[in-house]
A and B are shown apart, each in its own frame.
Chain A
Amino acid sequence: MMRSRNRRPGWRTTWLALAVWWAAAHDAAADRYEATLTVQPIGAIGRITEHVENTASGDAAVASVSGGGGEVGLRYGLRNWLDIGGEIVATGFTQAIYDPATVAVVGNPVMGRLMRTTRLGQLRAGATLRLGISWVPFLRLGLGVGGRALTSATLQDREHARELDVTPDGMNASFAIDVVASLGIGLEHRLDRRWTVGLGADATHAIGLGTPPLDVVSAGVSLSYTWYPLLW
């Protein structure tokens, strides 16, 4: 049976059309010359990979964990539709559990339940496309660096008639440097000339230098204070 060529527009087309309409209806303008300081508590979900073998699948072990933290951002309006700026992000995650995982303990492969906690700190800089005046949808792209603090991993094995609670080889507490790329979207509403509230979500991909990659999706409610700085 042949498929009809006159298919209904997909959701991507619909969203694109809505975005174009919104931009046209709102003059695609934001806040030239303004500086904005933003505070945003966030909730996050991290997808943390460890260099251990997932005994069940044979792949590298990946765990999804929830977390929370906050962002503090500072932006400056180059144009009415374009801001540049950066943000500092701190996020802590709950303990990631990889079960079953096979790791080396004193050189011997041991299978068990591996647990480890990760905390992140990131410094990102980028540009924000702002598409509104009072209600402001925005799209943000950023690049930066991050630091990943890893606690000592703990391997537990209570299923083989033994009580094992050790730190595997090479999995002591450590600190790793990441290169970070992020994409954010959101919607802000300007309450008055100084204060703005907003909702935003970010997707961040961190490439570790010597450590496995880390993906984080975060979202939160923001509060911003805006003023005109005297630059010179």
Chain B
Amino acid sequence: MISSLSPAGHGALVAGMLGMVAGTSPAAAQPTPATPARPAATIQRSEAEFLVPPQGGAFEAPIHTGEVCILSFAEKLSTQALASSPDFEVKAWGDDGVAIRVVGATAKTTTLALATRSGMVKVNMTLTVVPPDKPAYTLVRFKAVSAEEAFDAQLKDAVAKQVAPLEANLTRLRQNLETTIRDRADGLIADRLLKRNETIALTAHERNDDHVIVHVTRAVLVGDDGYLVFEIENRSRSAYRLAGVRVQAADREVNGPARLTSPTTDRDPSVIGVVPAGAIGRGIVVVRSVDQVLGKPLALTVAGPAGAGAIRLDRGILFR
């Protein structure tokens, strides 16, 4: 049975409400599905909204000793209410809500059965006393929803619960990803260097008609792969956009990825790098499985988009 609040009790309730308002986040209450309430993320979050399906629902809410928790409904409440513990004071708060306060020093948990007059909202509320350092609610709203909405909310909550640890793990992995990749790359390079580390000086040069010159200066053997180090000397009056580097042994392509140090970038993702007019760009191209081409003459071709400005060096490039 819900009893009316006495003036003293009302004053205490108002004081409690003021305290609740002071500790309440100005943000709107987060929708909470028709499942037992989860602890708030922070202690300032003291509101919750529960979605109640037509068949009713059971919810949990943590509360603090000495604070008042308001259970608010969208319509008038039935005067019948059942509380399982005498350690909780339950009073009417208007005609569409109840105010609950812990009165027993040893109070721990109570359940409270409530229903609206129309019968659209029926809830069984479990109130659990939690220490002051744990989050608790001072205002709980109940909202009648359809079964589909309630199911949807429940599903979202279940998914959120499932995804939360995954997201946390993913965030941690992302934070460590760079370090992990760097460590693995360094380890791979170290392994390859231990296996083989040789440098061969090369003096291959060629140019195109536009005064763009390629100098292949070094070949490097690292592990199973080789690298050709080259320079692109752009003596033309326009930028040279490098889009492809190809290494051939006879007619077989043996190149891997290529890189170019470039002070400028290009919007075209197919462009490896740009060498401004009058500048020199330094590049490198990987030759995979270099043992298969040891001692064989190689041809290096650099070209711009659609093969523009191609330069082919077919003499003086040899892994020995």
A-side interface residues toward B, CB under 8 Å? 27, 29, 33-34, 80, 133-134, 190, 192-193, 228, 230-232
Contacts and interface: CB of A to CB of B under 8 A. Distances in A.
Nearest to A190: B211
B235 A193 contact: no
A27 B278 contact: yes
5 contacts: A33-B203, A192-B209, A193-B206, A193-B207, A230-B203
Interface string B194-210: 00000000011111110
The 5 closest A-B pairs by CB, nearest first: A228-B205, A192-B209, A33-B205, A193-B207, A230-B316
B316 A193 contact: no
Interface of chain A, main secondary structure = loop
Nearest to A80: B235
Nearest to A226: B207
A232 B315 CA distance: 11
Nearest to B316: A230
A230 B297 CA distance: 13
B206 A228 contact: yes
Nearest to A228: B205
Given A134-B211, A192-B209, A232 B203 contact: yes
B65 to A, nearest CB: 84
A190 B211 CA distance: 9
Contacts of A190: 211
Interface string B273-287: 000001000000000
A133 B206 CA distance: 15
Nearest to B311: A193
A29 B235 contact: yes
Interface of B: 203-209, 211, 215, 235, 278, 315-316
Contact of A230 (B208, B209, B315): B315
B209 A193 contact: yes
Contacts of A80: 235
Contacts, number: 28
B309 to A, nearest CB: 11
A33 B209 contact: no
Contacts of B203: 33, 230-232
A192 B311 CA distance: 13
A27 B278 CA distance: 8
A192 B235 CA distance: 13
B235 A133 contact: yes
B235 A33 contact: no
Nearest to A27: B278
A231 B202 CA distance: 10
A27 B205 contact: no
A229 to B, nearest CB: 9
Nearest to B208: A193
Given A27-B278, A33-B205, A133 B215 contact: no
Contacts of A29: 235
A231 B201 CA distance: 12
Nearest to B201: A232
Centre residue among A27, A29, A228, A232 by max chain B CB count within 10 A: A228
B278 to A, nearest CB: 6
Nearest to B212: A193
Nearest to A191: B209
A33 B208 CA distance: 15
A134 B208 CA distance: 12
Contacts of A231: 203
A117 B215 CA distance: 51
Given A33-B203, A192-B209, A228-B315, 14 more contacts: A27-B278, A29-B235, A33-B205, A34-B205, A133-B235, A134-B211, A193-B208, A193-B209, A228-B204, A228-B205, A228-B206, A230-B203, A230-B315, A231-B203
A146 B289 CA distance: 57
Centre residue among A33, A192, A232 by max chain B CB count within 10 A: A33
A68 B278 CA distance: 41
A80 B211 CA distance: 12
A29 B203 CA distance: 20
Nearest to A77: B205
B316 A133 contact: no
Nearest to A26: B235
A192 B208 CA distance: 8
A34 B204 CA distance: 11
Contacts of B211: 133-134, 190
B262 to A, nearest CB: 20
A83 to B, nearest CB: 15
Centre residue among B203, B215, B235, B315 by max chain A CB count within 10 A: B235
Contacts of A192: 209
Contacts of B235: 27, 29, 80, 133
Contacts of B207: 193, 228
Contacts of B215: 33
A80 B316 CA distance: 21
A226 to B, nearest CB: 9
Contacts of A33: 203, 205, 215
A153 B64 CA distance: 132
